[in-house]
A and B are shown apart, each in its own frame.
Chain A
Amino acid sequence: MKLPWFIFALLLAMCGAVGGVLLTKEPSQGPINAGHGLPHPTIKSMQIGGDSAVRYAPIRISVWVFAVGMVFFFTALLRLASQKGETVNRLRWPLAIGCVAYLTTVIGMLISYEHYITDPDPRLRWGFPIPSAWMLFAVWPTPLLFVILYVATFSRWTFRPEDERAFERILAERASAVNETANQAEGAN
């Protein structure tokens, strides 16, 4: 499947996930929809999340589809950007490895969250509950792999010396075309 069609399919899957959630009835607590926060019982300026299982179970599949689809979508865009004409994209394997790493951290966070909501005595890791530690110390920094890739391969792939020379040629051709048009206009006058 060609990359733009793959991206389009991912977008349709993500639309499906969001549509599925929008059609799912939010659990309620009296008049309040309890799927995205409730007023804190004693502190007016705060909210609480409430019952984890009640608000997560109805949308579990959509959450997985949207989260996984989003990781593929981001990486597919990075691949789209690193293509050069019709030549083989040399970054495709490094980007694929980055995608797997990013996906692993997101899945790790989702699985640990599902354990967390049923765990009667959740433990802390590096100062946070384990799923939050996944988010802060894995999901957040993992895209640095793509940063390292960009920095390390910039002059070998993203903008090579031959690209720079090609750009100078394009600039020169453009300048001469603009001059020619200006001269013709002057001649006509």
Chain B
Amino acid sequence: MDGRQAVILSCVAAYMVMCIAVGLWAMRRTKSSKDFFVAGRSLGVMVAGLAVFSSQLSGFGFVGGPGLVYRMGMSSFWLIVCASIGHCLTFYLVAKRLRLISELRETVSLPDAVAARYKSETSRFLTSIAILMGVLGYLATQILAMATVLRDIVPRIAWVDGINDHLFTMAKWGADTFHLPIVVEESGLEIYVVIACAVLVFYCVTGGIIASVYTDLVQGAVMVVAAVLVFAAAIYAATDNLPGRGFSAMSTVMLADDREAISPWGTLGAMGCLSWLFVFAMGAMGQPHVISKMMMYKNVRDARSILVVSLTGFTLAALLWIGIGLVMRALVLGGAHPELDSADSAAASFLQNYTHPLLAGIVFAGLFAAIMSTADGFLNIGAAAVVHDIPKALSGKSLKRELFWARTATVVIAVAAALIALYSGEKLVALLGAFGWGTFAAALVPAIAIGLNWKRATARAVNVTILVSLSISIGLKFAPNFWPGFAIPWGIDGGAIALLVSLTLFFGISLCSKPPKIDPDIEAVMDL
């Protein structure tokens, strides 16, 4: 192990120890299921603000984001540009009303709020199912990402490989003995999945959402510091290796190669970029792991400060995405850096060649922070769906000893997601992967963001839009299997189509229906 690798590994290890410590601290503050799921509605401005932004920026922002800029030029900037209007929409439409309904009806989850607003157990059930399917998909990809990065930074040691082989053999034996419908292939990731899951599960089980949001606080801070430093390093690298200074140097090189890449639409084109703006700006209001934080802050008046903290944090953290992506594209085009094997290695390659090892270590810790802050939010809402929402929708009451079962469900969901990540085969991962940002947006934005602000919205409209949006998302994902070579023309995002259709249906059905009866207390809150 060389010195650089040792520094990186130390930063990541220190970060993981911190997560465990926060989990132990939060365990003493978690006494009820209300503490476990909504942190007792006691979060302050900084904690809630950083938790909201760090939940939004997953590992994709640190690896996939720079890779997209490298591959497509300015196109993926729209995923960042959308944040300013997206935050406004989220706070105007969701923050106040969700928080008030949460306190009024003692809700601990989004399906609770949906059921209170629409007086419909079917709506609660469908919302829970959409969330649960999305949780498994998102978690599986986040766990896989964590394991892959761990494998890349941990030096190969014989006894670690030995443990890995044993775990693989056990999985194969289990699959054969119990005739499980899984694909057990040698991936070499088992031990790293176990390590990543162990840390994640430990602090989520012990401390529930309290551990999750307080680790988010540290995770958000790490991401911001890492991003600002990397952005400065990127400008320095461009000035040092290209003719000209900073962004002008990068733009000049990219302009000479392909003027579209450095135009506002990048290589994707106008409609593709506008569809991203639409789905990512609107979609923030439908991400359950993000908006569930709106039920947790202490005082309704804090919403305005939380908006400022969250938007500032997101914007600063996104500098990493912009900086690395642009500079790596310009350096490769300018002949100052060899061609990359894949676009996703843009971030790793930049950190390896143009930053101090300590900064690389902070960024890798930031990467784990980004992944884990998203994953822990999903684990918590997944547990809520299993032990609280689905039983309540089916039997009218939630489970007894809810806190115990919530902790158990957290472990079970994490293990299920890990097994899906490792052994489900490409098709199931692809199916669950379809339940990404756009699917959550299409399924939940009408029900929650619009429904909390518009009394004419009906339960029937909610149920139809959830079912239709899920069908469109799955249909578009599987269309290439039945129609080889299928792709949505002009680069339009499938999630944007699903969202547009579901919003239009939602308004259309509600406007054509009789105004629904709403409980007087909910109606009174909607008038505030």
Q: Verify if B511 is at the interface (C-beta below 8 Å from A).
A: yes
Convert B231-256 into 0s and 1s, putting 1 for each residue whose CB lies closer than 8 angstroms to a CB of A. Answer: 00000000000000011101110010
B259 partner, pick from A70, A83, A122, beta carbons under 8 A: A122
**How far apart are A64's CB and chain B's nearest CB, in angstroms?**
10
Kindly report which residue of chain B lies nearest to residue A55, judged by CB atoms. Answer: B269
Return the contact of A84 from the options B73, B450, B528 (Cβ within 8 A): B528
Chain B residues with CB below 8 A from A132, complex form: 74, 251, 262-264
Return 14 A-B CB contacts under 8 Å, by A number.
A21-B489, A21-B490, A22-B488, A22-B489, A36-B489, A48-B261, A48-B267, A49-B73, A50-B267, A113-B263, A132-B264, A143-B84, A143-B87, A150-B307
**What residues make up the interface of B, taking CB atoms closer than 8 Å to A?**
70-74, 77, 80-81, 84-85, 87-89, 91-93, 96, 100, 103-105, 246-248, 250-252, 255, 257-272, 274-275, 277-278, 281, 300-301, 303-305, 307-308, 311, 329, 332-333, 339-343, 449-450, 453-454, 456, 487-492, 496-497, 500-501, 503-504, 507-508, 510-511, 521, 524-525, 527-528
A45 touches B341 (CB 8 A): yes
Contact present for B89 and A78 (CB under 8 Å): yes
Interface residues of A in 31-50 (CB under 8 A from B): 33, 35-38, 40, 43-50
Closest chain A CB from B251 CB (angstroms): 5
Beyond A8-B507, A129-B262, whether A47 also contacts B267 by CB under 8 A is yes
CA distance A12 to B511 in the complex (A): 14
Shortest distance between the CB of B302 and any CB in chain A (Å)? 10
Instruction: For B266, give the chain A residue with the smallest CB separation.
Output: A49
A101 within 8 A of B: no
CA separation between A126 and B265, bound complex, in Å?
18
A136 partner, pick from B77, B91, B342, B492, beta carbons under 8 A: B77
Are B342 and A167 in contact, with the CB atoms below 8 A?
Answer: no
Within 8 A of B (CB), among A159-180: 159, 163-164, 166-167, 170-171, 173-174
A37-B72, A131-B264 known; A167+B528 contact, CB < 8 A: yes
How many angstroms from the CA of A22 to the CA of B259 in the assembled complex? 25
Known contacts: A85-B527, A164-B300. The answer to whether A49 contacts B265 by CB under 8 A is: yes
Shortest Cβ distance from residue A116 to the other chain B in the assembled complex, whole angstroms: 6
A15 adjacent to chain B (CB < 8 Å)? yes
Q: What residues on A are CB-neighbors of B258 within 8 Å?
A: 40, 48-50
Interface majority SS on B: helix, strand, loop or mixed?
helix
In the complex, the answer to whether B507 meets A15 with C-beta atoms within 8 Å is: no
Q: Are B271 and A74 in contact (CB under 8 A)?
A: no
Q: Evaluate contact between A166 and B528: CB separation under 8 angstroms.
A: yes
Closest B residue to A49 by CB, please name it.
B260
Please, how many angstroms separate the alpha-carbon atoms of A2 and B255 in the complex? 47
| Besides the known contacts A22-B488, A81-B93, A151-B304, 16 further A-B residue pairs in the complex with CB atoms under 8 A apart | A11-B503, A11-B507, A21-B490, A37-B268, A37-B269, A46-B333, A46-B343, A50-B260, A70-B274, A80-B454, A127-B251, A140-B80, A147-B308, A167-B300, A170-B521, A171-B103
Contacts of B92 in A (CB 8 A): 77-78, 81-82, 146, 150
CA–CA, A49 and B488, complex, Å: 17
Q: Could you tell me if B489 and A35 are in contact, using CB atoms closer than 8 angstroms?
A: yes
0/1 string, A55-77, CB within 8 A of B gives 1 = 11001001100110010001001
Contact of B81 among A12, A44, A139 (CB under 8 A): A139
Interface residues of A in 118-149 (CB under 8 A from B): 122, 124, 126-129, 131-132, 134-136, 139-144, 146-147
Nearest B-chain residue to A95, judged by Cβ: B92
Q: How far is the CA of A84 from the CA of B305 in the complex (A)?
A: 22
- The 3 A-B pairs at the shortest CB distance, nearest first, are namely A49-B260, A36-B491, A127-B247
Which one of A7, A22, A116 contacts B492 once the chains associate, using CB atoms below 8 Å? A22
Smallest beta-carbon distance B391→chain A, Å: 21
B89 and A147 contacting across the interface, CB-CB below 8 Å:
no
Contact between chains at A159 and B96 (CB < 8 Å):
yes
Per the bound structure, the CA–CA distance linking A164 and B453 in Å amounts to 18
The listed residue with most A CB atoms (<10 A of its CB), out of B88, B89, B305, is: B88
A49 pairs with B524, CB closer than 8 A: no
Known: A80-B454, A84-B527. A45 touches B521 (CB 8 A): no
In the complex the two chains form, is B70's CB within 8 Å of A59's CB? no
Are A56 and B270 within 8 A (Cβ)? yes
Q: Cβ of A4 < 8 Å from any Cβ of B?
A: yes
